[in-house]
Chain A
Amino acid sequence: MTFAVENGVFAYGGGRRVLDGISFSVSAGELLAILGPNGAGKTTLLRCMMGFLKWRAGRSTLDGRDIRTYTPDRLWRRMAYVPQARKAAVSFTVGELVLLGRGSRFSLFSQPSREDVRKAEEALDRLRLSHLAGRKCAELSGGELQMALIARALAAEPELLILDEPESNLDFRNQLVVLDTMTELARDGVTCIFNTHYPAHALRMAGRSLLLRGDGRAECGDSRDIITERSLREAFGVEAVIGEVETPHNIYYDVLPIRAAEPAPASEIQPKKQTEESTMETRIAIIGIIVEDRTAAEKINELLHEHASYVVGRMGMPYPKKDISIISVIVDAPEDVIAKLSGKLGMLHGVSIKTTYSRH
């Protein structure tokens, strides 16, 4: 499955272009975060992407075909939409709500079959919500309702999930539950595109990010490349520090906002981040990697291959007794290249890493 937006342009009425030349594509199992300040058009982008709003120019494609050429039921079998959790007008039970996700699977005049009911139950089960099936939606907490809405989307057995600020309005723990659910789904091959207000969430779990700037343009790429202290200042007008937090298992990246700064006028924003790295001094670093999930090994090789020019040496050894592999990589590279590589490695499932830098 490949979903892409090709050169999408949108404006409300005759106004300025809210979105101007947006292009990106995602393939199976990818997580794409859409970031941007309030009013930059995050929700508009989602709605255009799914065909709820009409692109002025450009198009959305699913496997290369314009989504407008799909009939609604064909399209919505393959992608699903998770709206923000709001109290609904109708007090359905969670089970009834989730069953609505099967709407694309049978004709207008039919009733849901046993199979449909079973799929809805599976979706509930997958998110460990079965115990809520009989509860009324109005009685749920915000976190539970958001999870129920994700279950409804999953009931359609989609390949692509589009979520509108899935972790907004949720408490600390529920944010994690939702984010982890998305990570899990992506690992199972369900592509997720989501809007978020939190750059840290994008850094932490999304392989790729799309940053909308106020002027309708966007940058899309690896989260570590897109979300930088500089881009945060330019797009959000926030002076922030992106820091690493090391735990015994992994390195996490977090965004620590320091203060609100004047956002740069759109004209001054550089179209693409400058490659400051080339001018920087290089450092030696040892990246120690423990791989507990074999499927990650291939991804690691890919990443190391991309950075082959920096790699000084590498050693790998399997440890059959515990069914793991241990890899040690020595690189000589600019500091931020090392940090990004560590970050990408650390984001892989079943991988623990630690990076030790030389002093100079």
Chain B
Amino acid sequence: MHLDTTSRRVSPFTWALLIVLPLITACIALGIGRYSLTPVETLTVIYRRIAGLPISDANAAIVLFGIRLPRVLLALLVGAGLSAAGTAFQSLFANPLATPDTLGVASGASLGAVVGLFLGVSLISVQLLALAGGLLAVALTILVSRGGRSRGIITMVLSGMILGSLFSALISLFKYVADPESQLPSITYWLMGSLNTASYKNLILGAPFLIAGILMLALLRWRLNILPLSEDEARATGTNLPLLRGLTVVSATMITASAVSMCGQVGWVGLLIPHICRMLWGADNRRLIPASVSLGAVFMVIVDTLARTLTAAELPVSILTAVIGAPVFIALLRKTGGWQL
């Protein structure tokens, strides 16, 4: 057998686990809630639905397909997407602290959504505005960083940060002038992030972008390894660097903007999951991207399930990711003794 010494081996068992784990988690999560089902019951209902057989428990079908399935699907997609985008951006910026929001996508998308909520348009329109806001923000960031003499990656990060804080200021402005009785709570709640608005309509609008982004990153996964090299070294690999960078930014932006448009800002996922994967499987993006997609999906489904079941009222998902993320991150920091990609 040929022994690939250029890559740390990931056993077939691990790969199988990475594929199956999100499915198992999703199946369990589908059963959890006030109307609780065992995984076997869940599977039976799903099977009967697919096979076109009559379902004895009508309530189970409604809860499962009407309420929980879109939400779990959304969680899977958002977790997978944000983790993949985080992994890609950490490579692109050669910086372990890069997140999907580094270029101001999330702030831009949030601003779009806040404008929508302020104007009181329908939820779908809010989502569209968020999507547009995110894409516009990145376009603006790139435009700003292109204008001057220096076109380095650092300029891009700085432009992203500057525009991000500008958008945050504008969001504050809208909050300040919003009606504190009706608009302000909905804006605040939206900004904290929640998956409870999940519906098939939502998904149809946002998911294609998100899935396309993930697929693109998956195709580019080996090339992502080239991005953190120094400029000269990267060019010397014979790679079309502007194209690679452009595709990476576009993919990550599509993912993040559509994630934010569907469920608001969800922090930490794009930072935490890639680093856990790096610790487990090393720095090669050939393994990192698929592993991040899988574990990100699992993580998000778990966190969202906790968010909707932990207390009687639903918890904003960002609060939970931060509460879980911060301690895990500190532990990682202490263990690795510093930041490294």
Residues of A in contact with B (beta carbons under 8 Å apart)? 47, 50, 52, 72-77, 80-81, 83, 88-93, 95-96, 98-101, 103-105, 108-112, 114, 117-118, 120-121, 124, 130, 133-134, 138, 156
Contacts and interface: CB of A to CB of B under 8 A. Distances in A.
Interface of B: 2, 4-8, 91, 94-95, 219-223, 225-226, 228-233, 235-240, 243-244, 247, 282-284, 286, 340-341
Contacts of A108: 220, 223, 239-240, 243-244, 247
A98 B232 CA distance: 16
Contacts of B233: 81, 83
A73 B238 contact: yes
A91 to B, nearest CB: 5
A130 B3 CA distance: 12
Contacts of B231: 52
B7 A95 contact: yes
Tell me what chain B mostly uses at the interface: helix, strand, loop, or mixed. loop
A89 B238 contact: no
B239 A111 contact: no
A52 B235 contact: yes
Contacts, number: 113
B340 A91 contact: yes
A96 B341 contact: no
A101 B222 CA distance: 12
Contacts of A138: 340
B6 A103 contact: no
B220 A88 contact: no
A96 B7 contact: yes
30 contacts: A50-B232, A52-B231, A73-B238, A80-B236, A81-B232, A81-B236, A89-B94, A89-B341, A90-B91, A90-B228, A95-B4, A95-B5, A96-B6, A96-B7, A96-B284, A99-B7, A100-B229, A101-B237, A103-B226, A104-B237, A104-B239, A105-B238, A108-B220, A108-B223, A109-B220, A110-B222, A111-B221, A111-B222, A117-B6, A133-B6
A130 B236 contact: no
Given A47-B232, A83-B230, A92-B284, A100 B5 contact: no
A169 B55 CA distance: 74
A100 B226 contact: yes
B2 to A, nearest CB: 6
Given A109-B220, A112-B222, A134-B5, A77 B238 contact: yes
B70 to A, nearest CB: 32
Contact of A88 (B2, B221, B229): B229
A46 to B, nearest CB: 9
A91 B6 CA distance: 14
Contacts of B284: 92-93, 96
A309 to B, nearest CB: 46
Contact of B8 (A77, A81, A93, A156): A93
A72 B341 contact: no
Nearest to B6: A95
Contacts of A52: 231-232, 235
Contacts of B8: 93, 134
A90 B282 CA distance: 10
A88 B6 contact: no
Contacts of B220: 108-109
A35 B243 CA distance: 36
Contact of B238 (A92, A103, A111): A103
A101 B234 CA distance: 10
Contacts of B232: 47, 50, 52, 81, 83
B264 to A, nearest CB: 32
B5 A133 contact: yes
Nearest to B339: A89
B236 A50 contact: yes
B237 A89 contact: no
B186 to A, nearest CB: 42
A320 B276 CA distance: 66
A89 B225 CA distance: 11
Contacts of B223: 103, 108
Of listed A89, A91, A98, residue having the most chain B CB within 10 A: A89
A328 B236 CA distance: 47
Among B2, B6, B226, B340, chain A packs the most CB atoms within 10 A around the CB of B6
B6 A98 contact: yes
A107 B315 CA distance: 46
B341 A76 contact: no
Contacts of B230: 83
A199 to B, nearest CB: 26
Contacts of B228: 88-90
A103 B341 contact: no
A235 to B, nearest CB: 26
B226 A72 contact: no
Given A76-B236, A111-B286, A117-B2, 16 more contacts: A50-B236, A73-B240, A76-B238, A81-B233, A89-B95, A91-B283, A92-B282, A95-B5, A96-B225, A98-B6, A99-B6, A99-B7, A100-B225, A101-B237, A108-B223, A111-B222
B4 A117 contact: yes
